[in-house]
Structure 1
Amino acid sequence: MRIRAKVWKMGVLILLCAALTACSGGKSNEGTNGSSVPSGSMPETAEGTVVTMTVLTKDRFLAEAEQKFEEMFPGIDIQINEIVPADTSGGDKIVMKRGSDTGPKPEDVEKYVSSVNAALMSGNASDIISVENLPVDKYVGKGLLADWNEEAGKDSSFNKSDYYENIFDGVSKGNGWYGVPASFSLDVMFGDVSLLGQSSLVDKTWTWDQFVDLLGKTKTDGKYGIAMIKPELLLKYVAESVYGQLLKKDGKSVSFDGRAFQAYMEKIKSLYDGGLATSEMMGPENTSFSPLSIDSPMNALLMPQIEGKSKTMLRPPGTGQDEGMPFKSSLVLGLNANSKVKNAAWSFVKFLLSEEMQSSRAMMNFPVNKAALKKGLASTKQMIEGGGSQGGKSSSIKLRGKDGQEIKPTVNEEDINKVIAMMPTVGKYANQDLKVLGMITEESAAYFNGNKSADAVAKSLANRINTYLNE
C-alpha cells in the first residue's frame, strides 16, 4: 500500500529579532579595554611573541577571541590561518538543521588534512592546530603533538572542575590530553519512548539491530520509522556510532570488518525497501524517530517543543554498551610538539575556555565551561520571554513552522535544569575519520542505487579502508 504523508517542505526558522553584531560579520567591538586578566594567568613570554594557529575555518568566535586576547596581552600576536573561509551569508536568521549530515564538506576537510599533514611533516606547522578532522593517534605516535597537561599542570589559575571534564575525557580517551575541545554538539535521536518500552529496550544500551526490528514491529500506515535522510547517509550515521566495531585494532594495525559492515548495509536497505524509512522531508508527526544534531543550548531548549510532546530526546542506537550520549566537536585544539611558545599557546587556548569567551554570543555550540552553559540557557529563556538583551540591544526569539505560522515556545526552570542534568551523561566522542566515512558514503551509494551487490561493495570498501589506514 502506498504511504500517504504530508511532506514538511520547510524547516523551522528561528528569527533572532535583533541587529546582533556577531551576526553581521567582522570583529566585535565589545570587550575593548573591558576584558580583565585573571589572577595568575599571565603567560611567561617575551615581548613580540607570535603564536600561530591553523584551523579549517576562522569563525566569529575565534576572531573575537583573537582581538580580546591581544588587547589583554599586547606583547603577544595571535595569527590564525584558515584553510576554508567562513560562510557569513546567513545574516541574522538561523535555520535549525534536521538530520545528521551537518558537518563540513569532505573536499574542504581533505584540503585541510593535506595542508596540515604537509606542514607537520616538514616541521613548519603552526603552534596550535585544530585536530578534530586529523588522525590524532598517528600524530601522537610520531611525536608530532605535545600533551597539554604539561602546560595546564603548571597553571595554578586553571581548574578543570570549572569545565565539563567528561567532554575533555571523551576526546582524550585517557591517553594524555592531546586535544582540547572548545565546544561541542550532541548527536541525539528524538523518538517515541513508549515504543522502546513495548520491547523492553532502553536508549542507553539499544543497538541498531534492535532499532531495525523495533521499526518493523511498530509500523503504522501513513507514518515512517525514520525520514529525511538518504540510505548512504544513514549508513554513515550508523558507522559513526559503531566505528570501534567496524574498525578493529590489532597492535599497530587496523582492519575493517567487511562482513559486519555488509550486515548493517543490508539492514538499512531493508528499511527503505519496506517503507520504514524515506529520504523525503517529513514533519515530526509523520515519523517515529528523527536523528538530529543539537548544536547549542538554544536548540536543546527549543527542539523538544518543535518535535512535540510525543517525542523524547534519546541517545541514538549504538553498540549495546552504555558509552554515554554521543557528542562531536568542531574545534579541538592540539599543540605542536615543536612549538617554541607552548606557554603562550596554552594561555590563548585557556582564554578560549574562559567564561568570558564561552559566554560570547559568537559561541554557536555548547560551551565546555559550566558557568557559560548556565548563562546561555538563561539568555535563551529571556529571549523567548521577549526580555533578552544582546550587546545592549533587546532581542527575542520567534519560531516559524512549515506553513509560516508563528510558534510560541515556552521555557521554564525545569527545562533548563533538564539540559544541565543531561551534560554529565555526555561521554562518547563521535568524531571519526571523515575520509573513512566518506569512502563508506561513496561506495555504499552504488549498492543502494542497485549498481553493485552488497558483497562487492563490502570487499571494495575493505580494500580501500585497510590500505588507507595502514599506509
Structure 2
Amino acid sequence: MRKLTVKQSVVACSLVSLLSLTACSSNTTTTTGDTGSTTTPATGNKTVTLSVMTSDRFLELAKQKYEALHPDTKINIKEYEAAPQTATGQGQGQGQQQQMVMVKKPDPKNIEKYASSVGAELMSGKASDVIVTSGLPFQKYADKKLLENISDLMSKDASFKKDSYYAGIFDAMKYNGSLYTVPIKVGLNMWIGNQALLSGQQVDDGKWTWSDFKKKASALVSDKNNDGKPDTYPLGKIEPDQLITSMLNSSFSKFADVGAKKAKFDSPDFINMLKLAKSLYDDKLILADNSDPDNVVFQPKGNVLMYMDMYMMPKMNFDGKGAYYNLPSESEAKGTQFTSSLPLAINSKSANKKEAWEFVKYLLSDEMQSSRELSGIAVNKNGAKAQIDLLKSLGTAGEGGAGKSMKLNINGKAMAVTPPTEQEAAAIEKVLNNISVNGESDPKITNIVVEETAPFFQGQKSAEEVAKVIQNKVSTYLQE
C-alpha cells in the first residue's frame, strides 16, 4: 500500500490521528437498514433509536458510556449504510509510527436514499426517536410539527447550561426562531491566504462580500512574463458547482424563505451573483487546471474538521506563511461559516422524547465534547478547551505528545510539530467564538441551483434564463 502524505490524510480524519492511538474508522455494532430496533428491551427499560446514515466511533463510544451510566436505557443506532472503506498509511514520528486514515466521502446517492427513507418514516409516524438530519430538509418537517422544538427543551431543562455552548452556532441553526436540529460537532469553511503575496494588502474578512473579493482579486492577478497566463491566481482550484454552492449558502435567506414558501431566484441580486461567479473563471481569477497549485493567493481548503488543522494547515501551506480567512458573504450575518456532519433532531411523535433529549444532551456534554473520537470542532466551550489543551501537549510529556517529539513529512520536507504558543492558541479560540454563519441550506434547493446553473457556466444559457428555471422549480418545491 502506498504511503499517504499528510496533505492527503487531512481529508477526513486529518492530523488529529497524530494525537490518537485509535483510527477514525468504526467497528460498529449497529442495526443496518431500515428495520428498526432488533432488540426487545427488558420490562421497565427504554430503547432510544438513533437514525444515521453511517455510524462512527464517537456514536459507538457514546452508546457504550451512556448505557453504562443509564442501565435502564438502551441506545439502538440504526445505520442505513455500512461505514465506507478506509485507506490507511503511516506517518512518521520520532521512534514511532502514527496511523493516518482517509475516509471516503459518502456517495450522494446514498445521502439521497437516506433522506428519502427517513422522510418517509417521519411522514408515516414510524421514525426513530433521534434523527441525524444531514441531507434532510428539516425545515419542512418542522413546519409539519414532526420535529421537537429543541430550544424549548433547553430552556425548560435547568441542568442544561446554554452559556457553556457557542451561541453563534446555535443561533445560526435556528429556524423561525427555534432550534429543531442541533449540531453535535461542526467543520469550518475557511480559506488559507498567502501572506507573502498579500503583503501590504488589507483584507477585512469580517465583512467582505463576493463583490469585494472580486475587486481585491482583480488587483492581485499578475502576468510578469507577459505570456497571457497569470503567474498568480487569486483563488485556488474550485469547481463551479462548489463555488455556486458556497455563494448560495452565504446568502441563502436573500433568495429563499422556506417558512413563508417564497423564492426570489429571479431577482437582480441572484442574477448578478451568477454573473459574478462566472466572471471569476472568465477573467482567470481561479486557478486553471494546468497551473501550479501553490501559485495562488487564497486556497479554498474545504471543511476544517480538526483543531490540529486549525493549528498546522497554515504552517503547511505557502512555506509556513499561511493564515485563515473567512469566506465572503452576502448575508447580514458575518463571521466564520460552518457545516455539521452530525446535526440531530428529535421526533415529536416519539414515545421516548424525555430519554431522547437526555441522550442528545449527553452527546453535548463536556465529557463527550472533549473526547478524541469527536472528529470535529466541539460546540461545547469546555470541550473545545480540552481539545486545545491537548494540542498544547504536543512534543511534551503530556498525554498527546507522550514525551516524544514529532515530525511530519510535507512535500518531501521534514517539519517538526511543536506545541502552539499562547498567542496561537488564543487565535484558535478567537475563531471559535466567531462561528456564526450556517454554511448549509435546504439540500433540495441547493441541488436545483447546482443542476440548473451547470449550462450557464458552460456558456449554453444566460443567467436570466437559468434564474427563471430555478425560480419556477424552487417555487414548486416550496409549495409541496
TM bucket normalised to smaller: 0.7 to 0.9
Change (3 A) 1:162 1:283: farther
- Kindly indicate whether the alpha-carbon contact (under 8 Å) linking 1:229 and 1:279 is maintained by their aligned counterparts in 2: no
Change (3 A) 1:200 1:366: closer
> Which of 300, 310, 314 is matched with 1:304 structurally?
314
Change (3 A) 1:349 1:396: farther
- Specify the code of the residue in structure 2 equivalent to 1:406: A
Q: Following TM superposition, by how much is the alpha carbon of 1:302 offset from its aligned partner in structure 2, in angstroms?
A: 1.0
Match runs of 1:237-256 below 5 Å:
237-248=246-257, 251-256=260-265
Which residue of the partner structure matches residue 457 of structure 2? 448
- Unpaired runs of at least 5, structure 1: 1-8, 29-44
Which residue of the partner structure matches residue 114 of structure 2? 112
1:51 aligned to 2:48? yes
Which residue of the partner structure matches residue 414 of structure 2? 406
> Which of 350, 353, 359 is matched with 1:339 structurally?
350
- Specify the code of the residue in structure 2 equivalent to 1:169: D
- Kindly indicate whether the alpha-carbon contact (under 8 Å) linking 2:172 and 2:438 is maintained by their aligned counterparts in 1: yes
Q: Following TM superposition, by how much is the alpha carbon of 1:393 offset from its aligned partner in structure 2, in angstroms?
A: 7.1
Measured in 2, the distance between the counterparts of 1:199 and 1:443 equals 36
Q: Following TM superposition, by how much is the alpha carbon of 1:64 offset from its aligned partner in structure 2, in angstroms?
A: 1.0
SS across alignment from 1:129? strand
Q: Following TM superposition, by how much is the alpha carbon of 1:420 offset from its aligned partner in structure 2, in angstroms?
A: 1.2
Measured in 2, the distance between the counterparts of 1:198 and 1:451 equals 40
- Kindly indicate whether the alpha-carbon contact (under 8 Å) linking 2:266 and 2:464 is maintained by their aligned counterparts in 1: no
Change (3 A) 1:183 1:323: same
- Specify the code of the residue in structure 2 equivalent to 1:458: A
SS across alignment from 1:156? coil
Aligned-pair identity (%): 33
1:179 aligned to 2:181? yes
Measured in 2, the distance between the counterparts of 1:333 and 1:78 equals 15
Q: Following TM superposition, by how much is the alpha carbon of 1:11 offset from its aligned partner in structure 2, in angstroms?
A: 3.4
Measured in 1, the distance between the counterparts of 2:404 and 2:380 equals 24
- Kindly indicate whether the alpha-carbon contact (under 8 Å) linking 2:53 and 2:80 is maintained by their aligned counterparts in 1: yes
1:324 aligned to 2:335? yes
Cα RMSD for the two superposed structures: 3.2
- Specify the code of the residue in structure 1 equivalent to 2:306: S
Post-superposition Cα deviations, 1:294-334, rounded to whole Å, max 9, x if no partner, equal: 11211111122123454332211111635222111111111
> Which of 356, 371, 374 is matched with 1:363 structurally?
374
Q: Following TM superposition, by how much is the alpha carbon of 1:464 offset from its aligned partner in structure 2, in angstroms?
A: 2.3
Which residue of the partner structure matches residue 146 of structure 1? 148
Match runs of 1:53-202 below 5 Å:
53-91=50-88, 92-94=99-101, 104-172=106-174, 175-192=177-194, 202=204
Q: Following TM superposition, by how much is the alpha carbon of 1:261 offset from its aligned partner in structure 2, in angstroms?
A: 3.1
Which residue of the partner structure matches residue 32 of structure 1? none
1:276 aligned to 2:285? yes
Q: Following TM superposition, by how much is the alpha carbon of 1:121 offset from its aligned partner in structure 2, in angstroms?
A: 0.7
Q: Following TM superposition, by how much is the alpha carbon of 1:88 offset from its aligned partner in structure 2, in angstroms?
A: 4.9
Which residue of the partner structure matches residue 32 of structure 2? none
Change (3 A) 1:467 1:322: closer
Larger mean CA deviation between 369-378 and 188-197 belongs to: 188-197
Post-superposition Cα deviations, 1:82-106, rounded to whole Å, max 9, x if no partner, equal: 22322251443156x9xxxx97543
Q: TM-score, normalised by structure 1?
A: 0.83
- Specify the code of the residue in structure 2 equivalent to 1:239: L
- Kindly indicate whether the alpha-carbon contact (under 8 Å) linking 2:28 and 2:56 is maintained by their aligned counterparts in 1: no
Measured in 2, the distance between the counterparts of 1:353 and 1:430 equals 21
Post-superposition Cα deviations, 1:92-137, rounded to whole Å, max 9, x if no partner, equal: 3156x9xxxx975432221121111100110001111112432222
- Kindly indicate whether the alpha-carbon contact (under 8 Å) linking 1:206 and 1:320 is maintained by their aligned counterparts in 2: no
Post-superposition Cα deviations, 1:33-69, rounded to whole Å, max 9, x if no partner, equal: xxxxxxxxxxxx9832011111222111111111111
Post-superposition Cα deviations, 1:230-280, rounded to whole Å, max 9, x if no partner, equal: 123212211111212232569443342364333222222222222221253
Which residue of the partner structure matches residue 206 of structure 1? 208
- Specify the code of the residue in structure 1 equivalent to 2:353: K
- Kindly indicate whether the alpha-carbon contact (under 8 Å) linking 2:186 and 2:341 is maintained by their aligned counterparts in 1: yes
1:20 aligned to 2:21? yes
Which residue of the partner structure matches residue 41 of structure 1? none
- Kindly indicate whether the alpha-carbon contact (under 8 Å) linking 1:151 and 1:342 is maintained by their aligned counterparts in 2: no
> Which of 437, 441, 449 is matched with 1:428 structurally?
437
- Unpaired runs of at least 5, structure 2: 30-41, 89-98, 224-230
- Kindly indicate whether the alpha-carbon contact (under 8 Å) linking 2:249 and 2:438 is maintained by their aligned counterparts in 1: no
Which residue of the partner structure matches residue 418 of structure 1? 427
Q: Which has the higher contact order (CA 8 A, sep 6+)?
A: 1
Change (3 A) 1:426 1:79: same
SS across alignment from 1:244? helix
SS across alignment from 1:312? strand
